[in-house]
């Protein structure tokens, strides 16, 4: 859903003589009364749960929407020998510039997590659905896998161990990687009809991401909710000029944009992040033949109808789970079945004990199911639409007893810490010794040279056939076989990236780039260049300016060009991902890297990779990149404050054209503070140029008019959604076109400072952040006369 670009809000009209009267927009009813007809109602708690990630900042004026710190960089101690010179691009991820958070670096690390396929029998799915989970076992496990309880210790390629508290996995369904949506009325495992009852998977959208227009539509929904569900404007009006606490340096809408951009990574041949590293095969204790059922499910997933595409390796770790019903099952029989499972399938087994009865919120030990942080944009949009059209305003999220929560968390920790991570470490060690070590030696280099120069001296036909025979790349279908050395090396590099061993991953990606370029596998080449750049930026070591310019920027340039070149099978989603993640990691590297980060953000706007919402967010982000460069010394040599303010003004104008007054107002406030047009007491002072001041004043008035319209005030005093007749005449007996208040018993509004306008001419102040009410302030000449610039007649 794209907001109208040409819609121009109408600011409130002012009379010709501001010294005698003022036209106030008539408020026929409370502005909150007009919200009842909007799709985002305050009285719907189920919608509030979906929008709570961005709604918490709706009312705080300076903190949200600004993608940069509002605290001026002047607070940073600076001199020619100050610590500010440390952040010249050679900083490490642990030494961030002042006022910059590493929120996005953590988000990028968590986005590339191991994927685990989930497959369950019919009895298990029926047991989980009886507990209120329409999505079955996958819906039950999915939120708990996003953050593994406790610390997860991982060993890198040199044997050093490091613990992480934010490590997680992504549980996915086996049908999601097949490219086919679940069939209505069919079970997710057996394919048998359920007597006319459609499972939840038939109505749930696909959990795959990679759709930029859907991400834009989702963020637009959050922006609409923020515009019409912000805090009371009376408090916002009375707190004018008072500094608000700054908790985050980034707009939550931009963070949401990045998170949904990285959620639901598509299953593609040129990268293996979405390829499963393990698979869960679950059966119920109610099953009469558990061992045979496990073998049947394994056969269906390995070489049956549930097999992944041929470019996905199917010989991954299988983890077998026996779901025991605590209320109706026999624990002795379940223990015997579990022992038999371990004898047949090894130690990668678990006994999961759950209650079969549905839990309700009023139960003593009930716990609400956590919300999935990494759901795809299409999935969240479908959930929003479902709750909007539902007559039930209660939160439909199911509840679990505390014993089930403990059992699930124990199961996931055992799965990750004792099975998945050790198995990935062994695979990295094996591939490193058997494949990568050979490529690093002299023989491996001669092998790559022989592939590159094979075919000289023969005809063109023989050269083409010989080069094709020496390459493992299938140019017709566009992938490598799973057992090819290039495919195994790519999986090795991706495993290192997911295990956060960026040094080994970087060296592997560099070798792969040369191989892919020789084979003319351009999408594979772009993927290797993209991840090599991210690995270099995520490495804990220092990054010099020369390395950043010669290596990182070149890798980002090559990846974005190969992703956007139509002759090389264009993939705009991956181009956007490369540029967005690259600019965020460059911004964390300090002041000299800020210009490069802003340049890549500008590249996103130039190439048209995003829609209107993304264009506004990245315009706002360019200002954030320039703010982290405060300059050196007392003269702030090399500062980019004016550039940051310029892009903030452009962002404010973009948000205003899209009818997002709240975000436009915050961007304009940021630009005002960066230009230094606010004194120490918060009072507005003039900008250096009269044209600049006129443009900013006009933009502020337009934003104020838009905020009035969004609050229920329109031109002439009609309130939105509140009219007793077609002509807008109510039953108050008062002219509803305008309400003119004479100034006989009132003080002149024009001559009073802004901070003294908390009571408007004896009438309760309109619930709106009005900004500077009069453009005539600071327009007196040297003789004391008011200069008439014909503003009111314009």
Rounded Cα–Cα distance for residues 269 and 667 (Å): 41
Please report the pLDDT score of residue 710 as a whole number: 79
**Which helix (H) or strand (E) is 626 found in, with range?**
helix 612-627
Question: Is the per-residue pLDDT at 271 higher than 70?
Answer: yes
Question: Is the per-residue pLDDT at 243 higher than 90?
Answer: no
**DSSP letter at 240?**
T
Adjacent-strand bridge partners of 321: 282, 350
| Distance (Å) of CA 93 to CA 159, 160, 217, 585 | 22, 19, 32, 9
Q: Per-residue DSSP letters for 637-683? A: BT--HHHHHHHHHHHHHHHHHTT-HHHHHHHHHHHHHHHT-B-TTS-
Q: Is the dihedral of CA 169, 174, 179, 180 positive or negative?
A: negative
Supply the mean pLDDT for the chain.
75
**DSSP letter at 446?**
H
Adjacent-strand bridge partners of 617: none
Question: Is the per-residue pLDDT at 196 higher than 50?
Answer: no
**Which of the two residues, 267 and 462, has the higher pLDDT score?**
267
Closest CA to 647 of 630, 676, 668, 632: 668
Rounded Cα–Cα distance for residues 184 and 197 (Å): 9
Taking CA 86 as the corner, what is the angle to CA 80 and CA 90, rounded to the nearest 5 degrees? 140
Pairing of strands 161-164, 152-155: antiparallel
Rounded Cα–Cα distance for residues 775 and 347 (Å): 76
Rounded Cα–Cα distance for residues 434 and 347 (Å): 27
Burial class (CB in 10 A: 0-12, 13-18, 19+), 32: middle
Please report the pLDDT score of residue 15 as a whole number: 38
Question: Is the per-residue pLDDT at 652 higher than 70?
Answer: yes
Taking CA 608 as the corner, what is the angle to CA 603 and CA 611, rounded to the nearest 5 degrees? 120
What is the pLDDT confidence band of residue 226, given thresholds at 50, 70 and 90? confident
What digits encode the pLDDT tens for the residues 390-431? 877 788 889 999 999 999 999 999 999 999 999 999 999 999
SS3 of 70-83: CCCHHHCCCCCCCH
The answer to whether 375 and 264 have CB atoms below 8 angstroms apart is: yes
Q: Residue 728 region, left (φ>0) first, then alpha (ψ -120 to 50), else beta? A: left
The CB-side HSE value for 782 (13 A sphere, CA atoms) comes to 0
Please report the pLDDT score of residue 71 as a whole number: 37
* 593 token code pair: 């890297």
* 542 token code pair: 């220092």
Question: Is the per-residue pLDDT at 736 higher than 70?
Answer: no
Among 72-81, 442-451, 465-474, which stretch is predicted with the lowest mean pLDDT?
Answer: 72-81
- The percent of residues above 90 in pLDDT, for the chain, comes to 45
What is the pLDDT confidence band of residue 101, given thresholds at 50, 70 and 90? confident
Please report the pLDDT score of residue 715 as a whole number: 52
Query: Strand locations in 92-251, DSSP E?
Result: 115-120, 152-155, 161-164, 170-173
What is the pLDDT confidence band of residue 8, given thresholds at 50, 70 and 90? very low
What is the pLDDT confidence band of residue 210, given thresholds at 50, 70 and 90? confident
What digits encode the pLDDT tens for the residues 395-406? 888 999 999 999
Taking residues 611-627, report their average pLDDT.
94
Question: Is the per-residue pLDDT at 480 higher than 90?
Answer: yes
Rounded Cα–Cα distance for residues 199 and 193 (Å): 10
* 698 token code pair: 């006009």
* 509 token code pair: 């990606």
| Distance (Å) of CA 714 to CA 736, 749, 760 | 11, 22, 19
Which residues make Cβ contacts (< 8 Å) with residue 769, sequence separation at least 6?
61, 233, 236, 237, 240, 665, 704, 707
Adjacent-strand bridge partners of 282: 120, 321
Closest CA to 525 of 534, 516, 533: 516
What is the pLDDT confidence band of residue 633, given thresholds at 50, 70 and 90? low
Sheet of 276-284, strands arranged across = 170-173, 115-120, 276-284, 317-325, 349-354
Rounded Cα–Cα distance for residues 355 and 661 (Å): 50
Rounded Cα–Cα distance for residues 37 and 643 (Å): 41
Closest CA to 114 of 405, 417, 476: 417
Q: Residue 708 region, left (φ>0) first, then alpha (ψ -120 to 50), else beta? A: alpha
Please report the pLDDT score of residue 444 as a whole number: 54
List of long-range contacts for 757-761, beta carbons under 8 Å, 24+ apart: 758/237, 758/238, 760/22, 760/24, 761/22
The answer to whether 594 and 623 have CB atoms below 8 angstroms apart is: no
Rounded Cα–Cα distance for residues 625 and 643 (Å): 10
Taking residues 643-656, report their average pLDDT.
93
What digits encode the pLDDT tens for the residues 281-336? 999 999 889 999 999 999 999 988 889 999 999 999 999 999 999 988 889 999 99
What digits encode the pLDDT tens for the residues 743-764? 333 333 344 444 444 444 444 5
Among 64-78, 205-219, 475-489, 607-621, which stretch is predicted with the lowest mean pLDDT?
Answer: 64-78
The 3-state DSSP class for residue 545 equals helix
What is the pLDDT confidence band of residue 223, given thresholds at 50, 70 and 90? very high
What is the pLDDT confidence band of residue 437, given thresholds at 50, 70 and 90? confident
**Which of the two residues, 349 and 727, has the higher pLDDT score?**
349
Question: Is the per-residue pLDDT at 275 higher than 80?
Answer: yes
State how far Cα 212 lies from the chain centre: 11
Q: Which of 225-239, 247-261, 507-521 has the highest mean pLDDT?
A: 507-521
Please, what's the largest Cα pairwise distance for the chain? 101
């Amino acid at each position: 859903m794209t907001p109208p670009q040409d819609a121009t809000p109408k600011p409130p009209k002012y009379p010709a003589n501001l010294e005698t009267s003022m036209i106030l927009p008539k408020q026929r009813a409370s502005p909150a009364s007009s919200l009842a007809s909007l799709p985002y109602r305050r009285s719907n708690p189920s919608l509030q749960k979906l929008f709570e990630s961005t709604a918490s900042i709706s009312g705080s004026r300076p903190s949200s929407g600004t993608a940069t710190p509002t605290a001026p960089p002047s607070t940073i101690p600076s001199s020619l020998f100050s610590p500010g010179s440390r952040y010249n691009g050679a900083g490490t991820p642990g030494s961030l510039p002042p006022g910059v958070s590493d929120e996005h670096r953590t988000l990028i690390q968590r986005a590339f997590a191991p994927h685990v396929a989930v497959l369950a029998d019919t009895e298990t799915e029926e047991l989980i659905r009886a507990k209120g989970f329409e999505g079955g076992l996958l819906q039950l496990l999915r939120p708990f896998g996003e953050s593994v309880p406790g610390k997860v210790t991982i060993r890198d390629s040199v044997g050093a161990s490091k613990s992480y508290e934010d490590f997680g996995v992504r549980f996915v369904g086996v049908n999601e990687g097949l490219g086919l949506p679940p069939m209505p009325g069919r079970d997710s495992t057996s394919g048998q009809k359920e007597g006319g009852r459609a499972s939840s998977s038939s109505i749930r959208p696909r959990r795959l991401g990679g759709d930029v227009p859907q991400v834009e539509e989702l963020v637009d929904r959050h922006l609409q909710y923020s515009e019409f569900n912000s805090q009371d404007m009376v408090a916002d009006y009375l707190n004018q000029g008072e500094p608000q606490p700054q908790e985050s340096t980034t707009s939550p809408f931009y963070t949401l944009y990045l998170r949904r951009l990285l959620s639901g990574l598509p299953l593609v041949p040129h990268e293996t992040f979405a390829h499963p590293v393990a698979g869960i095969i679950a059966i119920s204790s109610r099953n009469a033949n558990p061992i045979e059922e496990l073998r049947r499910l394994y056969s269906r997933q390995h070489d049956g109808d549930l097999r992944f595409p041929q470019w996905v390796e199917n010989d991954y770790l299988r983890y077998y789970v026996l779901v025991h019903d605590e209320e109706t099952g026999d624990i002795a029989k379940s223990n015997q079945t579990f022992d038999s499972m371990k004898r047949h399938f090894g130690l990668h087994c678990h006994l999961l004990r759950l209650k079969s009865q549905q839990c309700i919120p009023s139960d003593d030990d009930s716990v609400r199911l956590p919300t999935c942080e990494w759901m795809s944009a299409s999935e969240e949009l479908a959930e929003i639409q479902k709750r909007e059209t539902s007559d039930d305003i209660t939160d439909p999220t199911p509840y679990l007893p505390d014993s089930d929560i403990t059992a699930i968390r124990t199961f996931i920790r055992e799965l990750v810490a004792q099975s998945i991570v050790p198995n990935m470490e062994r695979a990295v060690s094996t591939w490193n010794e058997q494949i990568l070590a050979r490529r690093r030696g002299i023989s491996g280099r001669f092998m790559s040279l022989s592939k590159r120069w094979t075919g000289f001296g023969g005809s063109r036909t023989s050269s083409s056939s010989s080069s094709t025979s020496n390459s493992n790349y299938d140019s017709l279908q566009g992938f490598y076989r799973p057992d090819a050395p290039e495919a195994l090396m790519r999986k090795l590099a991706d495993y290192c990236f997911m295990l956060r061993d960026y040094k080994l991953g970087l060296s592997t990606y560099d070798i792969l780039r040369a191989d892919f370029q020789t084979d003319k596998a351009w999408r594979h080449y772009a993927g290797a260049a993209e991840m090599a750049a991210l690995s270099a930026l995520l490495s804990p070591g220092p990054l010099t300016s020369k390395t950043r310019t010669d290596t990182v920027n070149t890798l980002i340039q090559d990846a974005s060009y190969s992703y956007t070149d139509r002759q090389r099978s264009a993939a705009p989603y991956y181009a956007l991902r490369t540029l967005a993640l690259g600019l965020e990691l460059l911004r964390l590297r300090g002041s000299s890297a800020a210009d490069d980060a802003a340049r890549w953000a500008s590249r996103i706007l130039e190439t048209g990779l995003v829609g209107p919402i993304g264009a506004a967010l990245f315009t706002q982000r360019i200002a954030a990149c320039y703010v982290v460069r405060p300059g050196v010394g007392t003269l702030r040599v090399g500062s980019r404050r004016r550039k940051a303010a310029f892009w903030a003004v452009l962002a404010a104008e973009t948000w205003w054209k899209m009818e997002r007054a709240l975000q436009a107002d915050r961007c304009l406030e940021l630009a005002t503070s960066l230009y230094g047009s606010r004194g120490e007491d918060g009072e507005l002072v003039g900008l250096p140029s009269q044209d600049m001041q006129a443009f900013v004043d006009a933009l502020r008035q337009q934003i104020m008019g838009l905020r009035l319209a969004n609050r229920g005030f329109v031109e002439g005093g009609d309130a939105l959604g509140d009219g007793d007749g077609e002509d807008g005449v109510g039953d108050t007996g008062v002219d509803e076109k305008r309400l003119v208040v004479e100034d006989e018993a009132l003080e002149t509004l024009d001559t009073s400072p802004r901070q003294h306008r908390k009571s408007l001419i004896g009438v309760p102040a309109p619930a709106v952040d009005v900004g500077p009410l009069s453009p005539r302030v600071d327009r007196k000449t040297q003789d004391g006369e008011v200069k008439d610039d014909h503003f009111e007649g314009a």
